[in-house]
Amino acid sequence: MEVLVFGSAIVDFVAYADRLPKAGETLHGHKFVTGYGGKGANQCVAAARLGAKCGMIAKLGDDAWGANYLKQLQAENVNVDYVEQCKGETTGIAQISVANSGENHIVIVVGANNLLSVQDVKKAKNLFDTAKVLICQFETPLNATLEALQSFKGISILNAAPAIAQTPPDLIKGATIFCVNETEAALTTGCEQISTLEHAKTAMKKLLQMGANNVIITLGALGAVYVRGEAPHTFIHVPAVRVEKVVDTTGAGDAFIGALAFNMARFNDLPWHQLIGAANRVAAYSVQHPGTQASFPNPEQAYYNAEYTWQEL
């Protein structure tokens, strides 16, 4: 096992329109699709699509959506020994609006995902003992997420999303890598906004002060920045891969996380700017294609054999 994901599985209901609606406004859309999502499952599939040996620990409803999702994960070559359909529960859903610019609004109802528990960590001890990289998020109960992080001995990535204004310190300290986007970083640290590299540097300093071991902040078209606890005064910017046209940004952050986990599991001897640069490329591929998991590349599409530039902030 290379990548283990402890997290959410949610079905996406996606409406496409020329722009996003204002408060109280109804718009005509031009396309509607359903798909498989949830940050946990997205990240797991993104890593599996690149060739990682992946396992998922998750909860689904005992409805048709849950049954179909289980089959979908199996089709993606994900180990589903600990993906459970829960009686009397509904599968989590996400209501997503996507504008022609690629921007999106998302509302989630997590359903069965709320049943993921500390006991599920203990039941899957064999996977926790053998996996190289663990990924967690905030779409499932936080006490279970903390147990997963504290029970894992390898490299753990906490994608603190959806962000929490006052994130419990033990969660921040519990992961090898604390990874958020600019909006999540602002909410977590109390920064007013993060729209520049200098803003991101300030947020990274605060996250280190809050106990994070290593920090990565993704910045969309600006790429990503990171700081490692072993070099707390060295802040690195890894530029994004250039994109000609953004089609749909839904799931791009999950594509980045899944690729990062794959890179950490398979190429951990490479410098971090290379691992993050390759993850940037996967995210760049994703935003140029519609859908969530449907937009994730295979190894040939990701074009991994490249050198990535970086600069110190």
Task: Report CA torsion sign: 73, 77, 79, 81.
Answer: positive
Per annotation, catalytic residue among 12, 170, 254, 269: 254
Pairwise CA distance, residues 76 & 2, whole Å: 15
Q: How many CA atoms lie within 13 A of 237 on its CB side?
A: 16
**CA-based nearest residue to 53, from 285, 265, 236:** 265
Q: Token pair for residue 309?
A: 């530039």
Q: Please say if 254 is a catalytic residue.
A: yes
Phi, psi for 250 (deg, rounded to 5)? -60, 125
Q: Which residues pair with 214 in a beta bridge?
A: 228
Please list the active-site residues.
254
